[in-house]
Amino acid sequence: MKYCKLCLQPDTRPNALFTEEGLCPACHYYEQSKGIDWQERYEILLDLIKAVKRTPGQHFDCIIGVSGGKDSTRQALWVRDNLGLKPLLISLSHPPQQVSQLGVDNISNLINLGFDVVLSSPAPETCRQLMRESFFKFTNWARSSELALFSSVPQLAIGYQIPLIFWGENPALQMGDLKTMGRNGYDGNNLRHSNTLSSGHAWMLETGLEHKQILPYIYPSGEEFDAAKIQIIYLGWFMGDWSLLKNALYACPAGLHIRTEPPDETGDLYGLSNLDEDWHNMNQMIKYLKFGFGKITEYVNEELRSGSMDRSTAIDLVEQYDGKCSEKYIDGFCEFMKITRQEFWSHVHKSMDHDLFEIDASGQIRRKFKVGVGF
Amino acid sequence: MRVSADMEVLNEVDILLLPGVGAYPSAMRALHERGLVHYLQDQAREQRPIIGICLGMQLLASASHELHYTVGLDLIPGEVVPLTEPKWHIGWNTIECVQDDPLFGPSDGQAFYFNHSFMYQGPAEYQVCVSRHPTPIPSVIRRGNIIGLQFHPEKSQAAGKALLKNIISRLAHA
Amino acid sequence: MLKKRLVGVVTVKDGWAVQSFGYKRYLPLGKPECLVENLDRWGADEILVQVIDRSVNGSNPDFELLERLGRLGLETPLIYGGGIRSVDDGVRAIQSGADRLVVDSLLHDDLAAVRGLSERLGAQAIIAALPLSWNGEHVEWLDYRHGSSSSISVEVLSLAETGIVSEILVIDWMHEGHQDGFEQNLIRNFPLSGVPLIAFGGISNSNQMAELLQMPNISAIAAGNFLSYREHAVQKYKEALSGMPLRLSAYESKYPTLTHV
């Protein structure tokens, strides 16, 4: 396991390749971005949207999937107030037992800001069942939810005949998920090849569910995309300052509410991410145990790249807070899943990378690597 | 632009700028201690351009009643007295030219930043512009090449820059 | 006619300009110099730089920051607050580049020093900051170092009444950073009338601003978070507030306008 030269990204992430200079894909992208003519890109975007005309009787120019969080709030405002388009926002609700007050307040904020929002709620019990299957099959309860999240937007776009879809960042460029690379930096039509979406939904049918029960989880096929002339565009390619912190700094004055819990409870440095429920943060703890890096790493990496944090401070923060998760979130999750704490941990331990972590005599999980150094 | 109390340096510049923050008595004391009172009075007699800003404008007058009665430079005769209700003039206010003067005409009606609690009171012939407090108070005074600005042109963004440019280019070439 | 003012506030913590939420959460924005430069260019009527971790750490004012700001060649009045513990601190802050000062902890610790500052620099240069909250019946004053609230002391009120300080910065600390937050009772029920007040904390939309600007004892409104990350925010607010006693929007672009990115 080795670390990026510039940030604290280890080389354990799936589908990501370090450059010859030892830079992770995100740092490589960041360096390259310094020479970008953002005005030129902006003009490309203006040309693109001119080409997409509203069909008669249609009220909306485009669709944006929103959680009410910092990224989607910023996108919605930018698309409406900067590009002058009328977006339809679609929010996929979590089951009632999962959604947070903060999440609800932030969707309300979007509505209060004047946006039209469609709320989609997949059947909660089916959702629960699939989350359980996801947890035991992939040690990632969110695999099914992410499928629903990604699928909801093109499904609605096809149904409402709104061909233009805006997503946020390009995972190929900004996160290094190279399989999703499209024709160019802003084309998102290959999103179906991402780590999440490529697992498809066949495994859901294998659990005994019928096709009609898992409709929200089915990403439309390439043929359906083509028939509806769907075009996914990544806004991140056009915005020079897309980042965790920057998006929050734009969204907070516009009414975004963020978490007040400290990083040792959430594993989130500023409380900006995963606002609409509590178990994605817990998932970051699991990701940490699987790959050696969690959410804190993502935050400090941004600041390392921009030069606003030095490496030793970043290492301290990662050592202190990365992968942290309060017991209350784990308890809430286990209760919803109807599993015991033991079942939870025994499964997580199985997925833990034992080259990176070990369990000591008192049952505590210990890092075997040195943050920033690896082994 | 140089900041100095050294007469040799001051002799070389085109225009003398007299700023001021704080209270009248200690400002005059500081000028006396540096031997600048006589210097400025001599320079004024030789028609050297002198611009007083805020407290600096008030120092050009004959005397002030701030804290205790203090004699000023007496370059533009008049007295400095407390503002009446309201006690402070803080913020952006417009100036109105009450005399024709090419130095200030272009700035007529523009807003500048004021921050003071005392005002100049003196002969009308020395008052070029007034501002409303709400009763009119002198905001620009002038006698020959001696100019007093009650506001802060250097803190008045575009309007201030334009005014200073106008004054300096006209006075320095005179 | 004397206009009321829109003051741009830059909150600094640990050397970084931050977005601040209710005195609890802080998000780093970047170098304070950049924000101050923006506010200067956008035509804010005054710029207030408040350094919030000085008194808590027992430090003096951040003179280095003031000197760096001084080198920017600002054309807008600069107000500084944070760590002023004595007359010397205040004088040095003015010499380092501030035009006016805000005192906060000093109001709890050393009123004689506040009077000394006023004598030395003039009352127009001294603003008393009062973090206040409304408890349903009356206004309460926060001591932020100890986290406790009580009535505003008679001594502090008399500083304003007798003209030792020229204005009071009323900080609605609970609503700071929250949209549409500012508690108007803090102004309507302020224990003194006839003292100019600057409202700050959660002021984010032009309706709120218009209501406040029409109150007689308001001399200025201040906004922090809501001026950051919005292109030409000062301009936009002033345009929305035409008809109010505010100086007109004064932003000047040196470059021809292309597009807003």
pLDDT value, residue C161: 93
Cβ atoms of C80 and C101 within 8 Å: the answer is: yes
Order of strands across the sheet that contains A62-66: A116-120, A87-92, A62-66, A164-167, A231-234
pLDDT value, residue C79: 98
Bigger pLDDT: C168 vs C247: C168
Q: How many CB pairs under 8 A join A and C?
A: 47
- pLDDT band, very low/low/confident/very high, at C253 (cuts 50, 70, 90): very low
- pLDDT band, very low/low/confident/very high, at C257 (cuts 50, 70, 90): very low
Cβ atoms of A276 and A102 within 8 Å: the answer is: yes
Mean pLDDT score of chain C, rounded to an integer? 89
State percent of chain B over pLDDT 90: 76
Looking at the complex, report in whole angstroms how far the Cα of residue C121 sits from the nearest Cα belonging to chain A: 36
pLDDT value, residue C250: 65
Ordered alpha helix ranges (H), A161-212: 202-205
CA C94 to chain centroid, in Å, comes to: 16
State percent of chain A over pLDDT 70: 96
Going along chain B from its start, the domains and CATH numbers come out as: 15-172 (3.40.50.880)
Classify the phi-psi angles of B148: left when phi > 0, otherwise alpha if psi is within -120 to 50, otherwise beta. Answer: beta
Residue ranges in chain A whose pLDDT is less than 50: none
Bigger pLDDT: C121 vs B78: B78
pTM score, two decimals? 0.85
Contact residues, C window 167-206, toward A, CB-based 8 Å cutoff: 177, 179, 204
Residue tagged 């020093």 (tokens): C113
- CA C45, CA C3: separation in Å to the nearest integer? 10
Q: Which residues of B are catalytic?
A: 54, 152, 154
What digits encode the pLDDT tens for the residues B147-170? 999 999 999 999 999 999 999 888
Domain range A38-237, its CATH number among 3.30.1380, 3.40.50, 2.40.30, 1.10.540: 3.40.50
- pLDDT band, very low/low/confident/very high, at C48 (cuts 50, 70, 90): very high
Environment class of B138 (CB within 10 Å of its CB; exposed 0-12, middle 13-18, buried 19+): buried
Cβ atoms of B49 and B63 within 8 Å: the answer is: no
Q: Which range, of A40-44, A47-51, C94-98, C240-244, averages the lowest pLDDT?
A: C240-244
Q: Which residues of C130-168 are buried (b: 16+ CB within 10 A; e: fewer)?
A: bbbbbeeeebbbbebeeeebeebeeebbebbeeebbbbb
Flag whether pLDDT at C261 surpasses 50. Answer: no
What digits encode the pLDDT tens for the residues A211-222? 999 999 999 999
pLDDT value, residue B174: 57
Cβ atoms of A268 and A204 within 8 Å: the answer is: no
- CA C65, CA A181: separation in Å to the nearest integer? 45
Q: From the list A38, A250, A260, which residue is nearest C229 (CB)?
A: A250
Q: Give Cβ neighbours of residue C20 (< 8 Å, ≥ 6 apart).
A: C11, C13, C26, C52, C176, C177, C224, C225
Whether residue C1 and residue B132 make contact (CB cut-off 8 A), yes or no, is yes
Flag whether pLDDT at B5 surpasses 90. Answer: no
Mean pLDDT score of chain B, rounded to an integer? 92
Looking at the complex, report in whole angstroms how far the Cα of residue C163 sits from the nearest Cα belonging to chain A: 36
Q: From the list C43, C119, C123, which residue is nearest B157 (CB)?
A: C43
Whether residue C2 and residue B88 make contact (CB cut-off 8 A), yes or no, is no
Environment class of C185 (CB within 10 Å of its CB; exposed 0-12, middle 13-18, buried 19+): middle
- pLDDT band, very low/low/confident/very high, at C243 (cuts 50, 70, 90): confident
pLDDT value, residue C260: 35
Which residues of chain A are in CATH 3.40.50 domains?
38-237
What digits encode the pLDDT tens for the residues A207-253? 999 999 999 999 999 999 999 999 999 998 898 888 899 999 999 98
Residue B165, Cβ neighbours under 10 Å: how many?
A: 12
Nearest CA in chain C to A272: C27
Going along chain C from its start, the domains and CATH numbers come out as: 5-240 (3.20.20.70)
State percent of chain C over pLDDT 90: 67
Task: For residues C192-210, give the mean pLDDT.
Answer: 92
Flag whether pLDDT at C4 surpasses 60. Answer: yes
Residues of B with CB below 8 A from C250's CB? 157-159
Return the amino acid letter for A25.
P
3-state secondary structure of C171: strand
- pLDDT band, very low/low/confident/very high, at C259 (cuts 50, 70, 90): very low
